[in-house]
Chain A
Amino acid sequence: MTEASTINYEATKKPCKVCFVTIGATASFDKLLKAVLDDPFLEALRRAEYTELLIQYGKEEGKAIYESFISREHDNVKRTCGINIAGFDFNTNGLGEQMRKAKGHPGNGSKEGLVISHAGSGTILDALRVGVPLVVVPNTELLHNHQVELAEELAKQEYVVHGSLNDLAASISEAEKLRERKRQWPPPNSGDESYKRGLAGVMDDEMGWVD
């Protein structure tokens, strides 16, 4: 037990580093919840010096999985990994606050963390705008598997890490590499003259307005 208490002591000195996990509002995603509450994943978080795991777990099944894990394991995880786990079902005002928490703030000594998200486009965009490293995990049980295409394309362009439910722990170290590359959203060519002034240009054409 002496070893465990030493880890705990170190944990209090570590700067705050948040991993925020969101499963989205429209569908349950039990596999993602189970993957982030799994030992190898928590161990990977510890190695990358995370101090907080914040989970948006959704209604019903998600809530049940989260709450039963917390009642069984929370103290244990805190002791062995030095990680605080907190969660909520959903926030109707959006996830901006949690994204910014994961982004960290040099002013209060917190470090930039990570967002792990289902492949919903709104959530992906929010994280890209905040500029926090993002791991996208498509929900393979949903019929709309074009979500996988979006995750693959964004990963190919090095904006996100395409996470796999089978080995989510590996995504933690990939996200550290992503952090170093610092690709900025939106792409530099958006709103470029070469794109005919984007939507505003199309609207002007249709209305017959000439600037």
Chain B
Amino acid sequence: MLRCVPVLSLKFTHRTYVVSSGDGFSALKAREFEMEIAARQADPAKTQGAGEILHAIRGSYDIVAVRRARRVHQSLSSTPWTASLCVWDCIRVIMGRNPRRTGLPPHRSWTGVCVVLASLIVLFFGFSGPASSTSGEKVEEEPDRLSRWQQSGQMRTIFIESWARVKTLSLSGKILLPFVDRFLVQWPALEGKGGGKAEFVGALVA
């Protein structure tokens, strides 16, 4: 997923990656992605003792873990409770109060649903949210904290359907369809699903 956001670091000076707790893989991927950005943009000569300059060039990032919306095999009846906790964590992330910073450990589209629902709740209560933000399956980017309250832009949400969905939309996708600003799919057979909202813009994993 991260591979399809090539210009992230130039346009968003602070990036927040939301992963669910226990999904070490995703957190590792986010960190590797940021290291690639750093490696591309940093002049090796500057990397020693010039951290601040480097920071200004490549921006900054957080990887935050939120409580899982639903564990694999968890019963549906207990899901509302765990999902609420997840939404609560996501609201805190969007409002800039990261619940648990983590270098490692997180999973899954249920958590993505919570991220988007949290953004809706935040918007509902009159906050414009970060000046901008984009959320995908498990990724969300936010701009710099300082600029958040200075800009009046409303945050936007983009849902990216899993590459694994070839002919039918996922449950998460169906739930979020009415709420997100854009809905992207990765296989041509899905274009136009969801009442014409689903857009195919090429395979986003590469």
Identify the A interface with B (CB < 8 A): 25-27, 92-94, 121-122, 125, 146-147, 149-150, 152-153, 185-187, 189-192, 195-203, 205-207, 209
- In whole Å, how far is A38's beta carbon from the nearest beta carbon of chain B? 28
8 Å CB contact of A203 from B153, B158, B187, B206? B158
CB neighbours of B47 from chain A (8 A): none
Q: Which residues 59-89 of B have a CB within 8 angstroms of A?
A: 72
Chain A interface main SS type: helix
Given A206-B182, A207-B132: A26 touches B165 (CB 8 Å cut-off): no
Contact of B164 among A121, A198, A202, A207 (CB under 8 A): A121
How many angstroms from the CA of A198 to the CA of B200 in the assembled complex?
9
Contact B4 A198 (CB under 8 A): yes
* Chain A residue at minimum C-beta to C-beta distance from B167: A149
- Contacts of B72 on A, CB cut-off 8 Å? 26-27
User: Distance (Å) between the CB of B137 and the closest chain A CB?
Assistant: 11
In the complex, the number of residue pairs spanning A and B with C-beta atoms less than 8 Å apart equals 86
The DSSP consensus for interface residues of chain B is loop
Please give the residue numbers on chain B whose beta carbons come within 8 Å of chain A beta carbons, in ascending order: 4-7, 11, 24-25, 28, 72, 132, 134, 153, 156, 158, 160, 162-168, 170, 181-182, 184, 187, 199-206
B203 touches A190 (CB 8 A): yes
Q: Can you show 18 pairs from A to B with CB atoms below 8 A apart?
A: A26-B72, A92-B24, A92-B25, A121-B164, A125-B163, A150-B164, A192-B202, A195-B201, A195-B202, A196-B201, A198-B4, A198-B201, A202-B184, A202-B199, A202-B201, A203-B134, A206-B134, A206-B182
B206 and A191: CB pair below 8 A? yes
Tell me the nearest residue of chain A to B164, going by C-beta. A121
Are A201 and B166 neighbours in the complex by a CB distance under 8 Å? no
The 4 A-B residue pairs with the shortest CB-CB distance, nearest first, are A195-B202, A186-B206, A121-B164, A149-B166
Closest Cβ of chain B: how far from A53's Cβ, in Å?
25
Cα A102 to Cα B74 in complex, Å, equals 35
* Cα of A200 to Cα of B132 in the assembled complex, Å: 14
